[in-house]
Structure 1
Amino acid sequence: MGFARCSQGGPLRSLRSLALPGGAKTLKTTILEEVHMDGHTDDYRTGLELAQSGRHSAALEHIRRHLAHSPDDAEALNDAGAILHCLGRSDEAIDHLRRARLLRPDSGEILWNLSETYIAAGRAREAMALFGDMQRLEILSADVLNRAAAVLLDQNDKAAAVEALLCSLKLSPEQRVIQPMVDLILNKRPRIAFFCGADGSSFLNEIVEFTRKRFQTRVFDGRTEEELRQTMQWADICWFEWCTNLAARASQMPKVSRNIVRLHRYEAYAPWPRQVDWSNVDTLIAVGNSATLEALTAAVPDIQARTSVQTVPNGVNLDKFRFTARDKGKNLAMIANLRMVKNPALALQCMQKLHYIDPEYRLFVAGTIQDAALERYLRQMVRALDLEGVVVFEGYQHDVAAWLADKHYILCTSICEGHPVAVLEAMACGLKPVVHNFLGAESVLPREFLFNISEQFCEMIVHGPYEPARYRRYVEENASLKAQLTVVNDLFTRFEMEIDAERKPSIVDTPLRMSGTTLSQQTDPAFATQW
């Protein structure tokens, strides 16, 4: 028994009879007889019959009498919420549906009704918080997303509207009107420019890709100070990757935008932070290592007073670095472009002891050797320690995830790291981390994964527990790309709100609407919502 359409939005659903995408599930009097075998069965049945005939006020009175004696009946709470929604009593409807969801958190019907009620009540952001669970249950539709976006645009919430429309487009790519609408919204959002220092964009690429879908975006590729100035004047928000000379010079120019500087590790020990005019930097992003922040504060003691410091750990793309269940094995991986700070000499000492205990263990090293003297030393010591064929230098790897497929441990012997992405990527694949206790390591990884001396290294590998799913879970909970991008997007959105507040209202600031065509017509004409 699905309730008839009411004037408050999309049709809501009774748990007693529900047609979901992919097939119909009819649960009528059988459920009633099995669940409600008490003196109040008649009230409940009568309430449902009255609701089906459109007599919502009378139906609510009967179902409430039932709930007075069965307050934890999730089905009745859901049906009461649906009726209250049809009566236009949104706050009460939401209260009932929330209570129903606490009792039945994985009910698609309750999720559907709660999202519909939120949207009808103009509380689309709260509806969006449900969309992840709705997608997991395969009940999220482009229509629901488009109607949520319509509400958000009416409220000038461009950030959330874009997220809803991008999700809608991903769900139903055939919708012709969505991308032009997103482009129109982007033209009203802040312009963002990225400036990358000499250490490259490897940590930035996924952030840029994410930003391009949500904001007008440029990546600076100029070489002159005038080109730097022009790009900054174009942008509303400037992001400087690496706190190096580029960030320092830009901070000394007249301030024309919100400025963000992201510092990784080595910059904290270099002269550049002292050259930055931090009063012209709105936010400093650090990647999460306490020792790096201590070094930075030693160089710039008043930095906390001069700018906002925010910690945003690096994020691992969990779709790219997929988990593989693996048994305990004897192949170690090390991923690094080798230089002195990576401390590869310690890796050789560790492998010499491990090889003595069990000659079947092997260490495979991915990455280039960036120092000629270091390369000659390493090759000499491999021979001297009788590790030829035990330690194998395999050079730069284009597909790290594939290269890790037959490995079991990820080794890091650095004396200093910011937020060791290579270690976290390997953990996401299921490798056990075995990490030298570098500066600030305990603020990045649990103590059980750290070693001080080579004997501890051997103990962790030979006798320690091996739990691949746990290593993956740690990354999911502490260092996912999704979490990183959410924080970055929140930062951009906060700046957007400040920028919008500073601008004088004009005709272009009116809420976005589409005349003649509605987004919901792309999926279900019956759910039309005028923009």
Structure 2
Amino acid sequence: MKFEDVIKLIEKKDFSAAKQLAQSIESDIERLNILGIINFYENNLDDALKDFKNALEIAPTHNDVLFNYAKVLFEKGEYFESWRYLTRISDKSWEIWDMLGDTQFKSGNMPMALHYYKKAYDMSNLSELKTKYDSLRNQYHTGKKFAILCLPGLDNFIHNISEILSHVYDVKLVVSADSKEIQEAYSWADIVWLEWANEMAVAITNNLPKGTKKIICRLHRYEAFANYTRNINWKNVDRLILVAEHIGDVLKEYHSNAYEKFRDKIVVVPNGLDLCKFDFRPRGHGYNIAIVALINHRKDPAAWLQVIGYLKQIDPRYTLHIAGSFQEIHYQNYFEHFIKEADLEENVKLYGHIKDIAKFLEDKNYILSTSIHEGHPYNIMEAMARGIKPIIHNYEGAKVQWPEKLVYNFIFEIPKIIESEYSSERYRKHVEDNYSLERQMEKILYLIITL
């Protein structure tokens, strides 16, 4: 049986013969996929969904089935679910980017729709896609000038936001400590985004005239434990973005006087992950535990060695793989000493800074976080998006951000987390449902529009 033979029967609308021929296919996945295609063209959308869903239960990363499933979901008006499965396609053609744009257009998320349409055109160079993009951009571009100001070395989390907003605003991203460059961008803008509530935010809000500008300030984490919020002129700030609700609790507790000045300006917008960049695949129990973090006191790296020492007693095959460089030299000294003293040479692997995190995580079963405080950590999100099970210490906010079953208080609780059900699908869905770039941009755009 050839696929082309089934297609010819479908074109003739001889669906009964097409199904009969498809039943001869030995591969369960291919048979279900073709039956789903036949049902789709026969307009039996519910039956098509069942066929594709059954195929994905056998092969969750099959690109053709993912696309076909997403296509039917889209036709049924389930745009979020369609988007979910399109993001999981590992090798995206321009058709996939175009369809991703359609899911966002139907959902009313115009910056993301334009972002995907631009990707589709850039990949295909088709004039009709350029016309589609240009027409919608002309329709939805506000003409407003939007300056994003950030000090050097702190721009890790702003580039996606800047790029996507540029489809509907005139955006200038200024990553600089040069006061002249900063002032020029500030003067030019109608809307100003201060990335981090740090010394730059203090200087700008106290020294530059606000006028009719709308000013947004985003506070990530470390600023909540410093004194910046006491010195920012909050009269000149229209909205304060926090990446997590528990950061607001920290501000209220340690900077209560300042908190009263900005409490009504707070909007919580969790970090967003570009899920198209993270290949998902089902994983399972094993012995490889990853850490992806800079090695400093906030991450509590001494706890890593306690965890692996405890697990080694249960099974010597457990191995801790650490991707990250030492930020504090006394931890390097401690690791070199303690790993040898505790006979952990075979159980702890230090890789230093890793550029290709995807490759590093490919054979890992778990990701460990022992941090004593976090804002909204990307390392956990990125691992979960790949289908890796996290083991998370109970920092403030952890049980709100992550499934409680994956959060521990004491080391002796970790084996229970490791041995419990392993569900890569559930980990990916948690990020898709809560922390996608799409959701982040929806909230940011609403914040800007309602200024």
State the TM-score bracket (shorter-chain normalisation).
0.7 to 0.9
Q: Structure 2: how far apart are the matches of 1:160 and 1:454?
A: 43
Deviation at 1:335, TM superposition (A): 0.8
Change (3 A) 1:414 1:139: closer
Q: Structure 2: how far apart are the matches of 1:187 and 1:345?
A: 51
Moved more, 331-340 or 383-392: 383-392
CA contact (8 A) 1:353 1:458 kept: no
Q: Give the one of 227, 232, 255 matched to 2:210.
A: 255
Which amino acid in 2 is paired with 1:376? Answer: N
2:194 alignment counterpart? 240
1:189 alignment counterpart? 143
User: What secondary structure does 2:277 align onto?
Assistant: coil
Change (3 A) 1:160 1:412: closer
Deviation at 1:343, TM superposition (A): 0.1
Which amino acid in 2 is paired with 1:327? Answer: G
Q: What is the RMSD of the two structures over their aligned residues, measured on CA atoms? A: 3.5
Tell me, which stretches of 5 or more residues in structure 2 are unaligned?
1-9, 16-42, 45-71, 87-94
1:512 alignment counterpart? none
2:92 alignment counterpart? none
User: What secondary structure does 1:218 align onto?
Assistant: strand
CA contact (8 A) 1:341 1:416 kept: yes
Which amino acid in 2 is paired with 1:244? Answer: N
Q: Deviations over 1:241-278 (max 9, x none)?
A: 11110111111121142111111111100011111111
CA contact (8 A) 1:339 1:371 kept: yes
Which amino acid in 1 is paired with 2:284? Answer: D
CA contact (8 A) 1:274 1:300 kept: no
2:447 alignment counterpart? 491
Deviation at 1:183, TM superposition (A): 6.4
Change (3 A) 1:197 1:305: same
1:315 counterpart = 2:268:
no
1:473 counterpart = 2:429:
yes
CA contact (8 A) 2:389 2:427 kept: yes
TM-score normalised by length of structure 1:
0.62
Deviation at 1:130, TM superposition (A): 6.5
User: What secondary structure does 1:192 align onto?
Assistant: strand
- Percentage of identical aligned residues: 31
1:328 counterpart = 2:281:
no
Q: Deviations over 1:50-105 (max 9, x none)?
A: xxxxxxxxxxxxxxxxxxxxxxxx99xxxxxxxxxxxxxxxxxxxxxxxxxxxxx9
1:295 counterpart = 2:250:
yes
Change (3 A) 1:398 1:186: farther
Which amino acid in 1 is paired with 2:448? Answer: F
Which amino acid in 2 is paired with 1:270? Answer: A
Deviation at 1:107, TM superposition (A): 9.1
1:361 alignment counterpart? 318
Map 1:127-138 to 2 at 5 A: none
User: What secondary structure does 2:127 align onto?
Assistant: coil
Which amino acid in 1 is paired with 2:164? Answer: F
Q: Give the one of 327, 350, 364 matched to 1:370.
A: 327
User: What secondary structure does 1:376 align onto?
Assistant: helix
Deviation at 1:234, TM superposition (A): 0.7
CA contact (8 A) 1:289 1:419 kept: no
2:417 alignment counterpart? 460
Change (3 A) 1:380 1:239: same
Q: Structure 2: how far apart are the matches of 1:318 and 1:134?
A: 10
Deviation at 1:288, TM superposition (A): 1.3
Q: Structure 1: how far apart are the matches of 2:407 and 2:416?
A: 11
CA contact (8 A) 1:199 1:242 kept: no
Map 1:342-361 to 2 at 5 A: 342-361=299-318
Q: Give the one of 233, 239, 244 matched to 1:283.
A: 239
User: What secondary structure does 2:192 align onto?
Assistant: strand
Change (3 A) 1:324 1:168: closer
Map 1:505-524 to 2 at 5 A: none
TM-score normalised by length of structure 2:
0.72
CA contact (8 A) 2:291 2:321 kept: yes
CA contact (8 A) 1:244 1:272 kept: yes
Which amino acid in 2 is paired with 1:363? Answer: L
Q: Structure 1: how far apart are the matches of 2:448 and 2:229?
A: 23
Q: Structure 1: how far apart are the matches of 2:427 and 2:117?
A: 33
User: What secondary structure does 2:355 align onto?
Assistant: coil
Q: Structure 1: how far apart are the matches of 2:442 and 2:271?
A: 12
Q: Deviations over 1:372-396 (max 9, x none)?
A: 1121112211112111121111111
Deviation at 1:305, TM superposition (A): 5.0
Deviation at 1:223, TM superposition (A): 2.9
Task: State the number of aligned residues.
Answer: 367
Q: Structure 2: how far apart are the matches of 1:456 and 1:131?
A: 36
2:390 alignment counterpart? 433
Change (3 A) 1:387 1:261: same
2:127 alignment counterpart? 174
Q: Structure 1: how far apart are the matches of 2:173 and 2:151?
A: 12
Deviation at 1:167, TM superposition (A): 5.8
1:225 alignment counterpart? 179
Tell me, which stretches of 5 or more residues in structure 1 are unaligned?
1-21, 28-73, 76-104, 112-128, 150-158, 496-531
Which amino acid in 2 is paired with 1:482? Answer: E
1:82 alignment counterpart? none
Q: Give the one of 201, 211, 214 matched to 2:165.
A: 211
Which amino acid in 2 is paired with 1:204? Answer: I
